Amino acid sequence: MATFFYGGCCLFTHSFYTKPMLETKNKCLRLKVCGITRLEDALLASSLGVDAIGFVFYKKSPRYITADSAAKIIQTLPPFMTTVGLFVNPTQQDIDDTLAVCPMDTIQLHGNEEPEFCKQQQRQVVKAVAISSVEDLDNIHQFECPVLLDAKAPQDVYGGTGQSFDWSVLDNLAHDYPVILAGGINMTNIDAAMRVEGLYALDVSSGVESAKGIKDKQKMITLCEKFH
């Protein structure tokens, strides 16, 4: 099993990264589909060449899935699909209990978690940072890990709104670790998202859904065709 490094940072330890990276319009750009709740959606993502799928372990989310249900999906996946567990303001015990049932390759922390909490995790962490203006980009530098940039949501709402922020604020984007773009990416704007410089991956969810937590097959196919 190989370890993949980006800018000196280990993002995923997965044998997938021993293979050549997919050629896209933005070379080496990866794609994650988040909010998976059904096996058929996970298998469709895999068949379309999606690099990672995400499971939401935040009970207030309409895309929430239990650790037991996520584990059953993961056990059925073909090889080389990276799995990501999304948590919002969890305790360490919350994370440990979930991973004991449902091992994940990567943890995505989507709440108000402090940098030290991110650093103490035993798995690779992606930290979500809410963005509405260029000044918000200053917040990413406190995190010594990959970051996911999502549109700033109303108080006590943590992502999943389907809203985008003004991507032009990323014109001078700089971070020592991989940067992932999220928030309202869909079939109509994915070309613009792919033109943003300096990104490691795109993260989509609502843009490929027919209902919250239910992925739409045709939207998935169309978006992935545009991506690849």
Catalytic residue set: 34, 150
Q: What's the one-letter identity of residue 209?
A: E
Tokens encoding 37: 């709740």
Phi, psi dihedrals of residue 4, rounded to the nearest 5°: -100, 130
214 by Cβ neighbours in 10 Å (0-12 / 13-18 / 19+) ranks as: middle
CA distance 178 to 146: 5
First-to-final CA distance of the chain = 26
CA distance 108 to 88: 9
CA distance 172 to 120: 30
Tokens encoding 175: 């971070």
3-state helix, strand, coil in the chain (%, to 5): 30, 25, 45
